[in-house]
Amino acid sequence: MNDNEMTVEREDGPAGGRYVIRLSPHAEAEMTFTRGADGLMTITHTGVPPDFEGRGIAARLVNRAIQDARHDHFKIHPVCSYVVTQFRRHPEWADLKA
């Protein structure tokens, strides 16, 4: 799979959902979240299968959530350690952090 084939999809449920990249018929990367009544997105977990680590896949998931937060005007509460670290590395996202 090349980088152009890594499409991030957002799946929404009543109280949360996930961002997902389908990497193969049997592997996917995901970042899960919950939603508060105020629209706040709490990102709880990010996971990439070991065979696909080190390719920037988790970063793609986070970047999509950042794009959605800017577009849809909501804040993100990062609980997942990976996302917490990404917020530290990207001070330009400070306005989106809850």
User: Please, what are the domains in the chain?
Assistant: 3-96 (3.40.630.30)
pTM score, whole prediction: 0.93
- How far from 12 is each of 7, 34, 87, 93, CA to CA, in Å? 16, 9, 23, 23
Q: What is the pLDDT of residues 79-94, one digit of tens each?
A: 999 999 999 999 999 9
Residue 10's pLDDT is: 98
Q: What is the pLDDT of residues 23-60, one digit of tens each?
A: 999 999 999 999 998 889 999 999 999 999 999 999 99
Q: Which of 21, 18, 36 has its CA nearest to residue 74?
A: 36
Paired tokens of 18: 């996930």
